[in-house]
Homo-oligomer: A and B are copies of this chain.
Amino acid sequence: MPIRVSLVQLGKGAVGSALVDQVAARRAALRDRLGVDLVYAGIAGRKTATFSPSGLDLARWRVALGDGAGMDGRLLFKEAARALRGPSILVDATAEEDMTSLYCEAIEAGFHVVSCNKKPLSGPLRDYQQVKETCRRQRRFWLYEVTVGAGLPVIGTLRDLVDSGDRVEAIEGCFSGTLNFLCASLDRGDRFSETVARARDLGYTEPDPREDLSGTDVARKTLILAREAGHSIEPGEVEVSPFWRVDLAGEPAGFVTAAAAHDGEIAGRWREAEARGLRWRYVARVNGGCQAALREVPADGPFGRLVGPENIFTFRTARYDSHPLTVSGPGAGPAVTAAGVFADILRVGRAIGRTS
């Protein structure tokens, strides 16, 4: 008999929706492969939620969600904590702030937590440590692979290095698919303003592209990796320089037009670098400290050769000293991100299915 694992999901955006569909498609196969039955008990949007302790009908979850007006994620969780028995996972597919107390409450209630939300991981150190400590005490998983590199095996790889006693000397790479898409487009001579607009239209940027251009998103990822590598640091300690000095006032729609004012200067810097066999890449580093900035790199090196919305992560450690351990590939997009969240759910599922 498969063991039932209940899923309660906050967030039904592009990633959240893709995840529900992916889990629904694999549920029957995983019952046999892993011996666990992944049952969606609840899904919440911003203002509506749907809940059924015996399992939602995933063929019509979007409709059911519309009927659940007036219930938000926190109410859904309270309901779930009261009604559910047995192994349960809280999936945070939102981008909300202030999740620490909800996470801790969930873990205290016996839930495992899987996050694609970077904010609970990249806020004050105290909040991060509180969730970690609650997990340790309650013997529950808190997994968040997709907060860095989407579906690429980055955090799990780092965790294995650290837990197995390797000494991480430096983590370096291009952690933003969005900014790498911009860099690679500019390499081909595309205009900055048009490239930003295209990246937004392709769904590569945040709704407001300035969040990407500010470097904030990369700074969050850098902080998450630094903490995973064992550094106790606060968000303010990441030295982040924006991709470009952009005017942060005004509406997102107006910004793309305003960006055209920078087109000439940016194109000039790109040409200068090219003439010296270099390319501009937005590079993040974790060594003693944490930095994220636009840097010139060799055009034929691993960072310079990166094209499109790709990410690269290199780990130099005591054991990987002469050549780094390197992971690269697309690091954004709903399908690969949802698959990464799914992989974290599978980690919990395998743990339950293989040790009972």
Chain A contact residues, CB within 8 Å of chain B: 22, 25-26, 29-30, 32-35, 87, 112, 135-136, 139-141, 151-153, 156-157, 160-161, 163-166, 300, 307-308, 310, 319-320, 322-330, 335-336, 339, 342-343, 346, 348, 350-356
B323 near A307: Cβ-Cβ < 8 Å: yes
Oligomer copy total? 2
B328 near A141: Cβ-Cβ < 8 Å: no
- Other A-B contacts than A166-B339, A319-B336, 13 sampled, CB-CB below 8 A, are A26-B163, A139-B353, A151-B319, A160-B342, A163-B343, A165-B342, A300-B300, A320-B329, A325-B328, A328-B328, A350-B351, A351-B352, A351-B355
Determine how close the nearest CB of chain B comes to the CB of A185; give it in whole angstroms.
Answer: 14
Alpha-carbon distance between A191 and B352 when the two chains are bound, in angstroms:
53
Nearest neighbor of A3 in chain B, beta-carbon distance: B139
B34 near A163: Cβ-Cβ < 8 Å: yes
A163 near B30: Cβ-Cβ < 8 Å: yes
- 10 A-B pairs closest in CB distance: A351-B351, A160-B343, A325-B329, A164-B342, A26-B165, A153-B153, A164-B339, A319-B335, A141-B354, A326-B328
List 27 A-B pairs, Cβ < 8 Å: A26-B163, A30-B163, A33-B136, A87-B355, A112-B354, A139-B354, A139-B355, A140-B354, A141-B354, A152-B325, A153-B153, A160-B343, A161-B339, A163-B342, A163-B343, A163-B346, A165-B339, A166-B339, A307-B323, A308-B323, A310-B323, A319-B336, A319-B339, A320-B330, A323-B329, A325-B329, A350-B351
B356 near A139: Cβ-Cβ < 8 Å: yes
A322 near B330: Cβ-Cβ < 8 Å: yes
Nearest neighbor of A321 in chain B, beta-carbon distance: B330
Nearest neighbor of A25 in chain B, beta-carbon distance: B165
List B contacts of A351 (CB < 8 A): 350-352, 354-355
List B contacts of A165 (CB < 8 A): 22, 25-26, 29, 339, 342
Nearest neighbor of A301 in chain B, beta-carbon distance: B305
Nearest neighbor of A339 in chain B, beta-carbon distance: B164
List B contacts of A324 (CB < 8 A): 329
List B contacts of A342 (CB < 8 A): 160, 163-165
